[in-house]
Structure 1
Amino acid sequence: METKTTISMLLLCVLLSISLPAVRTDYVRPQPRKNLQFPWNPKHPSLPQQVHLSLAGENHMRISWVTDGKSAPSIVEYGTSPGEYTLSSQGEATSYNYLFYSSGKIHHTVIGPLEHDTVYFYRCGGQGPEFQLKTPPGQFPVTFAVAGDLGQTGWTKSTLDHIDKCIYDVHLLPGDLSYADCLQHRWDTFGELVQPLASARPWMVTQGNHEKEKIPFFTDAFASYNARWKMPFEESESASNLYYSFEVAGVHVVMLGSYTDYDELSDQYSWLKADLSKVDRKKTPWLVVLFHVPWYNSNYAHQGEGDGMMAAMEPLLYAAGVDLVLTGHVHAYERSKRVNKGKSDPCGAVHITIGDGGNREGLAQKYVHPTPEWSVFREASFGHGELKIVNSTHAFWSWHRNDDDEPVRSDQVWLNSLIGSGCLEEKTYESRKILFSP
């Protein structure tokens, strides 16, 4: 019966989804690996599963986990010594139904205030194993690990293993997490897969097309994603979990939604405009933005899909002096020069596409030729990125290809922030007034 139900759900989702175009290969890279297998491992219904962290306002973190038992408490006990929990916090819980699937109890508990750059030990629900987390630093340097379009394949495992060897403070994920695609148990196995990393460092995510999972007349879009991966949207005065912002050390990070309204009359546009206008570049000299669908893309895959969002929102990002834009969706890597309005501009943002975390759909291996003048480096391989922001003016970006399971630093560059370039002062009143006009 379970097999028939799973097949029926999969067929329904396939019929309701839009097929992506196949990409022919003229550049041979490792083939996609099979989905990981997760043997059934029964646990006591009150024990925490799928534990992950996210930032939740200044000096606070949200701890999320799932229990099979509906009566388990949403309490987190924590402290700075193993086994000694001098503090505790009570949270909230939710659950959801998706066709024939009923989720476990999904807990979200905010702890804090926390000290910067400090190791804490914690326990979820009053029992079970002890976990350990490290809070981000309060000042430079700060390091972000970046990987999008993860999924649950052998390449995903390779990417996560490489990230685990990186000394980083926060993980950034620009959409397409589990590739559950309506099969809700894959959300559970994804949570199990990433728990070793996500329970130790905050994971800040935004949605991709594979999080949509909408079935007309049956399920709302993003129901599973919103229930499981609660981000600090309320803390950043957003009305939706699909877009929000946060600050860490001297960096203001904005997470946008490619699959919710973004035109000038939308709530997201109004929120973005207000959020960017409040950024204090003396406090946070770096401004980084993430969303799923790239605006600057010289791969044949997904050409033009970001044009509408780009037309609406690029003027806001340019006026605010955004330093770096990180996206996914295209299953390959590409880095641009500083760009604006489709061409190089020393006062624009650097755009990086990094949708190559290990998805099951394979790599997008065919590029447009000749290479656009704004494109600096492009390659179709699985991998991850590391962004080390050293101080208020300099950052080091590197992309690490997964080649035969060995991490290879294939692209690297020093970035200068716009705050130290004079660009913000040089921009005319006309280009900046968009942020402050009614």
Structure 2
Amino acid sequence: MEPKLLLLMVVEVVVLTVGAAASADYVRPPPRKTLHFPWTPKSSSYPQQVHISLAGAKHMRVTWVTSDKHSPSVVEYGTSPKNYTSKAEGENTRYSYFLYSSGNIHHTVIGPLEDNTVYFYRCGGEGPEFQLKTPPSQFPVTFAVAGDLGQTGWTKSTLDHIDQCKYDIHMLPGDLSYADYIQRKWDTFGELVQPLASARPWMVTQGNHEKENIPLLKDSFVSYNSRWKMPYEESGSDSNLYYSFDVAGIHAIMLGSYTDYDEYSDQYRWLKADLSKVDRERTPWLLVLFHVPWYNSNEAHQGEGDDMMTAMEPLLHAAGADVVFSGHVHAYERSKRVYNGKSDPCGAVHITIGDGGNKEGLAHKYKEPRPEWSVFREASFGHGELNVVNSTHAFWSWHRNDDDEPVRSDEVWLTSLIGSGCLAENSRELRKILSSP
């Protein structure tokens, strides 16, 4: 063999060996199948798909489904097991989707409730006793964050890992059930998440898989709006697709990527009105969630958020948004503080976390070279945890689902803009936007 050819072969072996060693740190597990939900008979008034959400100051909305349309929308609750000292009655709704007819979907608001307190409750006057814990009124407070959940084996792994987290609220930036017009999958999703969603409030916003519209036949978001009622009325919104809520020292804004968002839209006008009421002394942190990311270096869904970003990013920047969460891209990515396409110390940290466990798989391909604003990116299933420690500091961690163990793969301390001087610098810009017609 010629010496030159031998040298090339040796170099190739060395390169392959080094490359294998570099990638051996993590071998991504294979996809997992959609979960199977065996049918179990229950009485027609038995409460199913129980989940809770915040419903204004010191109140919680309890939602459940029964097949009996005459079952009462009543919740009994108290701070001791089997000892219900309070009772509330709510409303119920149903919907049809061609040959499918939903069960009776009950929404009942309970309260006023004490902060950071365990309550025991029963839905509809029968069935099992559930247990919930209200969020604290002061720091620290912890959020679990995972989007694009679906109903696969990886979804179950993600939920199991979230269950190990000592969190107060779950935030989900769109794409819940992946029912995709098959309405019974909304029922199985409700069954899947009930153990977690009945115990801690789930605050969700819509994604593209919630639309389920058929032109001239079915409006968008009928299933989503019927089943996952959020505190839009309590926050002055006219639509369940966008709203806000306060918890401890955080003001969280949930926006809709799939409803009008230009400066003449109802959503934009509501957002201006909502931000005008924010008191950063009382809520020093400003969090924002929506489905389609604005800052995304993955090849998947490139540019889909550009129009919304053009319309709304100047407003959120002027208001001093601290962290923006999104989903849609089935991978994880964290940015520096960024605004107008580049790093900016007064911009928001953008986190894409659409990797909860969906049926479509992961988005493996990233754009090269990496944008200067992108800090960490990886195509793996997982969830995030945001522990807001005080008015100025929060600890963010992303936990990869590695062989069923929640491995902490990315972590960073975040500081709010409250003490940075950015809010004072941006106040003139904010006043100008808020005063415009």
TM-score of the two chains, using structure 2 as the length reference: 0.93
Q: CA deviation at 1:428?
A: 6.0
Match of 2:140 in 1: 141
CA distance in 1, matches of 2:150, 2:79: 34
Match of 1:286 in 2: 285
Q: CA deviation at 1:28?
A: 6.6
CA distance in 2, matches of 1:430, 1:290: 22
1:66-215 maps to which residues of 2 (within 5 A)? 66-215=65-214
Count of aligned pairs between the two proteins: 412
CA distance in 2, matches of 1:398, 1:169: 16
| Amino acid across the alignment from 1:117 | N
Show CA shifts across 1:255-281 (max 9, x none). Answer: 000000000110000000110111010
* Bigger Rg, structure 1 or 2: 2
| Amino acid across the alignment from 2:407 | V
Match of 2:323 in 1: 324
CA distance in 2, matches of 1:96, 1:320: 39
CA distance in 1, matches of 2:222, 2:384: 29
Match of 1:355 in 2: 354
CA distance in 1, matches of 2:275, 2:89: 32
Match of 1:297 in 2: 296
| Amino acid across the alignment from 2:307 | G
Q: CA deviation at 1:142?
A: 0.2
Q: Does the 8 A contact of 1:250 with 1:284 survive in 2?
A: yes
Give unmatched runs, 5+ long, in structure 1: 1-26
Show CA shifts across 1:373-425 (max 9, x none). Answer: 00000000000000000000000000000011111000000000000111111
**Structure with bigger RCO (C-alpha 8 Å, 6+ apart):** 1
Q: Does the 8 A contact of 1:121 with 1:130 survive in 2?
A: yes
| Amino acid across the alignment from 1:207 | Q
CA distance in 2, matches of 1:320, 1:361: 36
CA distance in 2, matches of 1:286, 1:305: 27
CA distance in 2, matches of 1:160, 1:314: 32
Identical pairs, percent: 79
Q: Does the 8 A contact of 1:152 with 1:178 survive in 2?
A: yes
CA distance in 2, matches of 1:79, 1:430: 48
Q: CA deviation at 1:437?
A: 3.0
Match of 2:306 in 1: 307
Secondary structure of the structure 1 residue equivalent to 2:160: helix
Q: Does the 8 A contact of 2:88 with 2:108 survive in 1?
A: yes
Q: CA deviation at 1:431?
A: 5.5
| Amino acid across the alignment from 1:101 | Y
Q: CA deviation at 1:32?
A: 2.3
| Amino acid across the alignment from 2:211 | K
Q: Does the 8 A contact of 1:95 with 1:105 survive in 2?
A: yes
Secondary structure of the structure 2 residue equivalent to 1:281: coil
Q: CA deviation at 1:218?
A: 1.9
Residues 92/431 of structure 1: CA separation in 2 closer, same or farther (3 Å cut): closer
Say what the alpha-carbon RMSD is for the aligned residues: 1.0
TM-score of the two chains, using structure 1 as the length reference: 0.93
| 1:411 to 2:406 alignment | no
